[in-house]
Amino acid sequence: MLKRLFAVFVLLIVLAGIAGGVAWKDYQGYLNSPANIAEDQIFTIEKGQYFNSLVKDLNAQSIIDKPLYMRVLSRLEPELTAIKAGEYQLEPGMTPRQILEKFAAGDTLSYHFTIIEGMRFSELRQSLAAEDKLSHELAELSDEQVATKLGLDVSSPEGMFLAETYQFQRGMSDLELLKRAHDHLEKQLNQAWAERQDDLPLQSAYEALILASIIEKETGVAAERPRISGVFVRRLNRGMRLQTDPTVIYGMGDRYKGRIGRADLRRPTPYNTYTIDGLPPTPIAMVGPEAINASVNPAEGSELYFVARGDGSHYFSDTLSEHNKAVARYQLKRREDYRSSPGSN
């Protein structure tokens, strides 16, 4: 009797071992076999989502069909439960294990946001608000509050973000993206200021940024930036007003409807460089690295004037008489709203 019971006990152990081995083989085979992904798809993990909730979502979307095995894996390899929020691209052929490894690594989809050279902060706000992959905090904040939130040492955020393309992940806040753009600007500006030419009529890196923003608005031709910088630097050194139209436009605000009249050139604003000496109080736009470098490394020369040719480039002149001839040549139809930059004096 005892021998029979012992034999049965041994048989049960053998069967349990076989069953366990079969289950383990099935478990391993499942985790390392392709999940049910027919085509590329985006899967989203929300902020604060727990692992068990994630498994339910994967099962509900029929990406996996053995959630128990996923939970067993989480016990055996708990590091795979440290999932990161964001959007993930799942591709055909990925296994359940690879999916969890991707989630734990935070290998999320990246998106791109571009701050364009010459963009105003009001325009940047609009572009950020239209980006639905970002979370939005700016809407309830004034410009001054934005500056405070970001820890800027100036009251206006105008011009304080480097114009370039930034990568971000879904759910990043617009403030966080701006902080990154400001950090990039600070690095670029401080380096350029440290390597600036001698004897510039600029008292600080911030003044260099103001000048860079005017250069940025004056030309989209990269090769002209140092030359235009040279004109402005020479005018500042001689005590001449900059008389540059983009500052007039900025000072007009909502009154600007596409044209500048002579009355606008005479109307004082804090930004109108036809009526103020030196630089305006803040930048007038976002700038790229090239404009920053041009502001502190102006081209040598003797030009004091320039006028738009009509093709995006400018004609430069040393004297007022030469400038007036260029105006007559390139601006054939002198209208009440005619403008050239710098002005004719």
pLDDT digits over 260-309, tens only? 888 999 999 999 999 999 999 999 999 999 999 999 999 999 999 999 88
Of 143-147, 241-245, 328-332, the range with the lowest mean pLDDT is 328-332
- Over 80: is that where the pLDDT of 1 sits? no
pLDDT category at 10 given cuts 50, 70, 90 is very low
- Over 60: is that where the pLDDT of 16 sits? no
List C-alpha distances in Å: 189 to 184, 206, 246: 9, 8, 22
Query: What mean pLDDT do residues 127-131 have?
Result: 97
| CA distance linking residue 189 with residue 195, whole number of Å | 10
Residue 272 in contact with residue 247, Cβ under 8 Å?
A: yes
Which two structure tokens, joined as six digits, stand for 144? 């001054």
pLDDT category at 343 given cuts 50, 70, 90 is low
3-state DSSP assignment of residue 323: helix
| CA distance linking residue 121 with residue 160, whole number of Å | 9
What pLDDT is attached to residue 21? 54
- Mean pLDDT score of the chain: 88
Peptide bond into 342 cis (omega under 30): yes
CATH number of 32-109: 3.30.1490.480
- Over 60: is that where the pLDDT of 170 sits? yes
Residue 105 in contact with residue 88, Cβ under 8 Å?
A: no
Helix (H) or strand (E) holding 209: helix 205-218
Query: What mean pLDDT do residues 297-322 have?
Result: 92
What pLDDT is attached to residue 6? 42
Residue 244 in contact with residue 276, Cβ under 8 Å?
A: no
Q: Residue 300: exposed, middle, or buried by beta-carbon count in 10 A (0-12, 13-18, 19+)?
A: exposed
Sign of CA dihedral 253, 256, 258, 262: negative
| CA distance linking residue 243 with residue 235, whole number of Å | 10
What pLDDT is attached to residue 341? 64
What pLDDT is attached to residue 334? 46
Residue among 298, 144, 166 at smallest CA distance from 224? 298
Which two structure tokens, joined as six digits, stand for 263? 């009355």
214-241 pLDDT, tens digit each = 999 999 899 999 999 999 999 999 999 9
* Prediction pTM value: 0.81
What pLDDT is attached to residue 287? 98
Query: What mean pLDDT do residues 12-20 have?
Result: 45
Residue among 275, 261, 245 at smallest CA distance from 342? 245
Residue 104 in contact with residue 84, Cβ under 8 Å?
A: yes
- Over 80: is that where the pLDDT of 71 sits? yes
- Over 90: is that where the pLDDT of 61 sits? yes
Q: Which residues pair with 317 in a beta bridge?
A: 305
Query: Domains of the chain: which residue ranges?
Result: 32-109, 111-188, 197-330
Exposure string (b/e) for 133-152, b if CB count within 10 Å is 16 or more? ebeeebeebeeeebbeebeb
86-128 pLDDT, tens digit each = 899 999 999 999 999 999 999 999 999 999 999 999 999 999 9
- Over 60: is that where the pLDDT of 338 sits? no
DSSP annotation of 62: T
